Structure 1
Amino acid sequence: MYRLFSRWREGFTAQGRLQRATSWLKQEGRAPQGFALLGRLAQDGMVAAQYQVARAYLEGCGVPRSPAEGVRWMHRAATAGHAEACFAMALMLLVDPPDGRGADGLLPASLPAGIERWPDPVAATGWAERAARLGLPDAQALYGYLLACGPESLRDEQAARFWCARAAQAGCPQGDLGLAVAHLAAQAPGTDPDAVAALNRAAESGLPTAQYMLGLLHERGWGMARDTGQAALWYGRAAGQGVRPAQARYGALLLQDREDAPRNMLMAETWLRRAALGGDREAAALLGDLHARGEAAIPADHEAVMWYRMAADQGHALACRMLAVLYQQGRGVAADPGLARQWLERAAAGGDVTAMSDLAATVLAAGGEQAATLPAVVDFEPAARAGDPVATFNLAVSLHAGVGRPVDRPAAALWMERAARAGVVNAAYWYGRMLLEGDGVAAAPAQARQWLEQAAMHGLPEAMFALGALYGGGHGLPPDREQALHWFVQAAQAGHALAQMMAGRYLARGLAGRVDGAQARHWLEQALAQGVDAARADYAQLAGG
């Protein structure tokens, strides 16, 4: 009897009514009644009821959904010190409002006092701190994460580790994830064993972000032996939970023949499609590549166009350039040079150095006044300063020829040397010629010969011919006719017309110490066939002899 009376009396207490209201909210037929009771309690100042009212408005439970009212009540409960409400405010202030403003928007027409803008990472960090200090493990993990990776003005590596560790000690997987992120944000990925251990715990607990990050560490060999099998395992788990980058990386790994598993094209395309349709531009571009190269399960040019356009619309520069190629060739679409040029310019605007080079080549080929004017999107300097060898070479050529910028031969020589040292074969040839001729740099024939030899050894016919001429005498270097003949023959075999004439002349006259009439005739005939009239006299003399 006493127990029954106690239960009856509890039903009239504020706490009892709160419990009854929340219970009714879960019952389909009584949810409105439960919300009405919650509303009375919230209006009377019960903070826990205010939090529940906020949730009901945000979720549309027992009342028509009203994000604006939800925010207002959540802010009121958070201001009163409700831990979960503080945490909810932190989460909401970190993202753009999905519904915009207005009567049914996430934000009211006038923001609650204390909220000046939305999103507001700084304010979100403040609310996360309040919830963390109130002992909420999830909030401690979020606060630690924000201190590690949030607004620059609030970052505190030591405090980030402290709060993430507290959350992890409370058994919160997000704490382990935050601890890993805090470690990795301060050091090279994988170099801290504590961070890797925390990431493993978070991944094993089922957190998809941790699973994706662990996949990255395994794929790239950060802090552990590179293991694409383990990477695929963790990517697959994260992909199954909807992590878009994991879907893209998982699809890319499935395209490879690995020791633990053969290539699986159908499965790879499935995951890449999911990632691409979810907005991953790299996955879309990769699908475009597969179709354009004929490597897809059922390749089709129109599919290549579709996926490239999807990536290009998101600013993927390489996809823009590939679309230009398809429009130029009429593959999957009607050939359209105008559209091809537009996509090429968009690729160049996105920083694609190859697209810039193609545009520059188009302008130079046009000749005349156009040769000095490049489209505004063609600017090789940023990529050159960032260390791109091809852009460095193209910048040097532009400065040398005055294409798109004033002629500046000394600057051209500086950039050309950088490109040559970076391994650009054409730059080695150009720089050798500039050193030979004192073009923008002090003449240095011995150094010129070294750069020309480097270019020649990589198969550049112009460099081979230049070396032949250099070894033939002049520029203050002792002649070496045998070396001259060697390089003339090498260039001649590569189809260089003037080298064919010089090889014929050397062999006809014995300039390198030996005469070979048959070979001389062969090379002179080759030169004549390519229109080198200067070879005619040598050929006539050989025939007359």
Structure 2
Amino acid sequence: MSLLSRLFTRRSPEKRLQYGLQLIEAEDFAGGFAEISAAAQTGMPEAQFRLARLYLDGIGIPRDLVEGGRWLRRAAEAEWIEAQFVLATLYLVGLPEAVESDSFALTDVAQNVTGQPNFHRAAYWAKRAADAKNPDAEALYGYVLGAGPEELRDPEQSLVWYQRAANGGSPQGHLGLGLAGLHSAQSDEELAEAISHLRIAADANVGSALYLMGIAYERGAGAPQDAAAATECYGKAAAHNVRSAQARYGLALLEGRGIEKDLSKGETWLRKAALGGDLEASALLGDIHARGGDLPPNYLEAAIWYRRAAEGGHGASARALGMLYLTGAGVTRDEDEAAKWFRYASEKGDAASSADLGNLLLMGGGTAEDRLATRSLYEKAAHSGDLIAAFNFGVCLAEGVGAERDEEQAAHWMRKAADGVINAQYWYGRMLIDGRGVPANPEEGREWIRKAAVEGMTEAEHHYAQMLVVGEGGPPDHEEALLMFERAAKQGNTNSMFALGAMFGGGHDIPEDREQAFEWFRQAAERGHVGAQLMMGRYLTRGLNGTSDMEEGLRWYRKAEAAGVTQASAELAQLKIPPRKQKSDDAAGTKEAAPSPADSHSAVG
């Protein structure tokens, strides 16, 4: 039919609607929009609903949420049930206020975005469609009664409407019953019933139900534990843009959990979840790039994902980002920025960040504001009974972080924290030995350090062993000292490695063993302990363990000499080896090393 004959042929609204739908089907969107619009202008509810969908989907005209919402409202007011249901759904997403008005007004782009959910209007339209026995509307009304604001909430009636929807064949009704059942289940039977409803919704391809079934299969809760079935459900839910499912599906692909491992595809799904706002996915991506694997670590990429997660409130990611700033990995090294993220993570409940922040401030990092804010944070938490905060507050008081030093108060808080914090036991023991803030009491101090050592604190093990060697705070016990030095050495403490070499080297109440002495000196020397390097020079040039290697011994002497150990130069001179000319950078070092474990190195505070 020509355009001219269209203009002069009168057709009913029904025919214009049908013709418009045919044109849309034939991809003549402009013509279809014109025909459907003409039918809608006559007040025909179905045409109004169809026109609303064209506006909402941007078919034949630019997308316009306001005009689409207005035509939906008109159709809903004319008792078009599907329009009532869709309008209720959109009110839960958020519709601009202009939808409620028929007055003409120019709308800008800002009006065509969703606003805050309006549960009251959603409830009104969902109830009207539900009263007309629309199963999906019944499920939607059940949701509003279950999740809406206090004045609308009615959990019992919510279940009634979910059941009606389920009886009417609505998968969403089964989803609602399943979710409610998961929250209220008190027995395996009730849990199984909840899962049965979720399974029906999942079989109908409802994204949320698929995700929850994945959780059930993964954990073996209400369903057999089945990694492959869980991953399959996550994959289907991910395709429905369920963010949490995208994250779990990506992780399953990365680990090969219930599916063939696919690193590229796994990271793609994690990225989708992270870009959609899933904080755990962002944190995982940060971990993946920071850790590396088949490829070297990419700290720049790690920083990007950690920042995204941290800005969303993920405490562990904030701490990880702080670590990157502290070390300058992937970002410019910035102690102030590191302190900022440590503090943020600490405020989010990440206990390790509190210690990181405290250590950074003790080393002089962060700003004055950081130090003051951190001290206040620890003080408030300490007064509330938090023992870790009490320890950190004690450190601030002892070291003058954020205010003047107050060693008496520091000792007070350290004593409180020592009842449950290993580090506090060590600190309080040191304070008792040194008489800082409390009368000196080496006996009690040794006991507190022993407690921390028994719990496995490396610094405490080393310090306690030193006390046992010289008999500080109690009788000497070289056998126990040896055990403690060994424990600390196995944790990488180089001072304890040196001390073991000295003890096995002779002159202590344990059997002499020069082979073991040499081995411990070697381990400490290779880790940069200058006293051990001097001893390696002695052992190898003098054959103290039964064999000699002059060239290797001289190499170790040279290392000790370069580090500023004057005894190394003296012993080289005795060997008639001319001393190496030191660089100006070496002039500051004048260290003497003696083969005694007790005075090899003071314990680290």
TM-score when normalising by structure 1: 0.71
**Which residue pairs with 2:107 in the alignment?**
104
Relative to structure 1, the CA distance from residue 64 to residue 450 in structure 2 (aligned partners, 3 Å threshold; closer, same or farther) is: closer
Instruction: Find out whether 1:429 has 2:432 as its counterpart.
Output: no
Contact kept? 1:290, 1:304, Cα under 8 Å: yes
Q: Is the 8 Å Cα contact of residues 208 and 242 (structure 2) preserved in structure 1?
A: yes
Distance 2:60 2:402 in 1: 67
Tell me, what secondary structure is at the counterpart of 1:337?
coil
Question: What is aligned with 1:58?
Answer: 56
Residues 364-373 or 180-189, more deviating: 364-373
Say yes or no: does 1:275 pair with 2:273.
yes
Deviation at residue 198 of structure 1 after TM alignment? 0.8
Between the aligned partners of 1:57 and 1:367, the Cα distance in structure 2 is: 57
**Alpha-carbon distance between aligned partners in 1 of 2:49 and 2:365, rounded to the nearest angstrom:** 72
- Partner letter of residue 363 of structure 2? A
- For 1:296 and 1:269, the matched residues in 2 are separated by 13
CA distance in 1, matches of 2:367, 2:285: 41
Superposed CA offset, 1:498-533 (max 9, x none):
99499869974x7x6x786989x999x869989689
Cα pair 1:35 1:56 within 8 Å, conserved: no
List aligned pairs for 1:41-440, cutoff 5 A: 41=43, 50-60=48-58, 65-79=63-77, 82-97=80-95, 103-104=106-107, 118-187=116-185, 192-258=191-257, 260-295=258-293, 300-312=298-310, 314-326=312-324, 329=327, 331-332=329-330, 336-338=332-334, 341-342=336-337, 344-350=339-345, 351=348, 352-366=350-364, 373-374=371-372, 379=377, 394-395=392-393, 397-398=395-396, 401=399, 403-404=401-402, 408-409=409-410, 410-420=412-422, 426-430=423-427
1:134-189 Cα deviation digits (max 9, x unpaired): 31211111222233333244333322222111111111111111111222244589
- What secondary structure does 2:22 align onto? coil
Is the CA contact (8 Å cut-off) linking 1:468 and 1:487 kept in structure 2?
Answer: no
* Structure 2 gaps, min length 5: 1-9, 24-30, 100-104, 522-530, 536-564, 566-590, 600-605
Q: Give the CA deviation at 1:251.
A: 0.9
Contact 1:318 / 1:347 at 8 angstroms: preserved in 2?
no
Are the aligned partners of 2:36 and 2:47 in contact in 1 as well (CA < 8 Å)? no
Structure-1 separation of matches of 2:431 and 2:15: 89
After the TM superposition, which of the residue ranges 406-415 and 175-184 deviates more from structure 2? Answer: 406-415
Cα shift readout 1:422-453 (whole Å, capped 9, x = no counterpart): xxxx3453466679999999999789848734
Deviation of the 1:331 alpha carbon: 4.7
Give the conservation status (yes or no) of the 8 Å contact 1:215–1:234: yes
- Paired residue for 2:42, among 40, 43, 48? 40
Relative distance call for 1:463 and 1:169 in structure 2 (3 A) is same
Q: Give unpaired runs (5+ residues) of structure 1.
A: 1-11, 110-116, 421-425, 540-545
Residue 254 of structure 1: CA displacement? 1.6
Deviation, 1:403, is 3.3
For the Cα contact (< 8 Å) 1:180–1:198, is it kept in 2? yes
Aligned runs of 1:435-514 on 2, under 5 Å?
A: 449=447, 452-453=450-451, 455-456=453-454, 458=456, 460-466=458-464, 469=467, 479=475, 481=477, 485-486=481-482, 489-490=485-486, 494-496=493-495, 500=499, 508=507
Query: Please, which moves more after superposition, 451-460 or 495-504?
Result: 495-504
Aligned-residue offset at 1:26:
1.0
C-alpha displacement at 1:295, in angstroms?
A: 1.8
Calculate the TM-score normalised by the size of structure 2.
0.65
Per-residue deviation, 1:276: 3.2
Query: Distance in 2 between the 1:146 and 1:166 partners?
Result: 15
- The offset of 1:383, in angstroms, is 8.7
Residue 26 (structure 1) aligned with residue 21 (structure 2): yes
> Structure 2 CA distance, aligned partners of 1:299 and 1:99?
50
CA separation of 1:440 and 1:174: change in aligned 2, threshold 3 A: farther
Q: Distance in 2 between matches of 1:418 and 1:389?
A: 7
User: Which range moves more in the overlay, 178-187 or 162-171?
Assistant: 178-187
- Structure 1 residues 433 and 486, CA gap change in structure 2 (3 angstroms): same
Task: Give the CA deviation at 1:463.
Answer: 3.7
Distance 2:87 2:110 in 1: 12
Q: Which amino acid aligns with 2:209?
A: A
**What is the CA deviation profile of residues 371-411 of structure 1, one whole-angstrom value per residue up to 9, with x for unaligned ones?**
99355599457999999997675455446656347865544
Larger deviation, residues 228-237 vs 428-437? 428-437
Instruction: Report how many residues are paired.
Output: 499
